[in-house]
């Protein structure tokens, strides 16, 4: 048991040292939807922990584009420092480009709302998909 704990601690130390060596401004190698990155106000932010299911309890707006372009990430409507941010308790809404509309990159809640107003997308609240996952700007 003691040996397993030591091995686990050593493994964590190796991972942390690799992350630390890369530095906070290391280039992003991959930014696939659901893989630790989100858009917020046109910028990319990192998630802090793996997401956990949090059905029907979301408070922070989160937009998941169902049929977007390559490189489309989830879109956070709030983040640390913005008014009303409640720690990443995401209230999920599905964003779907309408038939006949060529999808384009959406990188903020404002862009989602503009696309909805223009009739390019539908936005449907999906409370069963709500989740908890804090972000780091």
3-state SS, residue 122: strand
Cβ atoms of residues 41 and 108 within 8 Å: yes
Distance CA 45, CA 34 (A): 12
Better-predicted residue by pLDDT, 51 or 121:
121
Q: What is the pLDDT of residue 35?
A: 60
Better-predicted residue by pLDDT, 66 or 17:
66
pTM of the model: 0.72
Residue 99 pLDDT more than 50?
yes
Q: pLDDT per residue over 108-126, tens digit each?
A: 999 999 999 999 999 999 9
Q: CB neighbours of 51 closer than 8 A, spacing ≥ 6?
A: 34, 131, 132, 133
Q: What is the pLDDT of residue 84?
A: 85
Neighbours of 84 (CB within 10 A): 9
């Amino acid at each position: 048991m003691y040996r397993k704990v030591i091995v686990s601690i050593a493994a964590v130390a190796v991972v942390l040292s690799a992350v630390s060596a890369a530095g906070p401004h290391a280039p992003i190698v991959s930014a696939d939807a659901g893989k630790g990155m989100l858009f917020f106000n046109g910028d990319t932010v990192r998630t802090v922990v793996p997401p956990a299911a949090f059905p029907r309890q979301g408070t922070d707006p989160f937009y998941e584009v169902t049929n977007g372009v390559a490189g489309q990430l989830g879109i956070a409507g709030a983040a640390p420092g913005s008014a009303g941010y409640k720690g990443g308790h995401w209230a999920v809404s599905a964003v779907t480009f309408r038939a006949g509309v060529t999808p384009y990159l959406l990188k903020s809640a404002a862009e989602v709302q503009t696309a909805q107003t223009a009739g390019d997308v539908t936005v449907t609240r999906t409370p069963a998909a709500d989740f908890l996952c804090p972000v780091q700007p």
